Amino acid sequence: MSESNVITLWQAVTPNTVTAIERAHGQRLQPSSDGDPFTLLKLNPRWAVRVGETVWAQRFGTAALVEIVLPTAALATYPVESVAYADHREYRIPSIDLPCLSQALVRPVRVIGQVGCKARAVPRWARVG
């Protein structure tokens, strides 16, 4: 598969999700956190790091950044959404679709980094659950 036919995406995930990724040897996409109805796959790793720091690390003390490589054709039915800033773009994938999408992985999902929480104001809704 040529480089132009694949896309690299990034996702911020919780410690439990890292465990699930490791148990599956990177062969299955996972929701960012247990029970999430949607999985947000970022087109820019900077935004995945930001979510890790301001949401997951605030709740769990740490978060991980994972890298995902998929054929662009596998994402054709999902629109790219913009979130607040023009360069903050993501795919919003229903978590129920992850098993099917996992079959298209170009290589195993891999953990590429870890972030801790930053001292900053986080909305109350982001701390619940």
Q: How confident is the model at residue 96 (pLDDT cuts 50, 70, 90)?
A: very high
CB contact set of 4 (below 8 Å; sequence gap of 6+): none
**CATH fold for domain 3-120:** ADP-ribosylation fold (3.20.170)
* 123 CA to centre of own chain: 20
Quick one: what percent of the chain has pLDDT higher than 90?
75
pTM: 0.86
Q: How confident is the model at residue 41 (pLDDT cuts 50, 70, 90)?
A: very high
Would you kindly state where each structural domain of the chain is located, as residue ranges? 3-120
The pLDDT of residue 1 is above 70: no
Cα Rg of the chain (Å, integer): 14
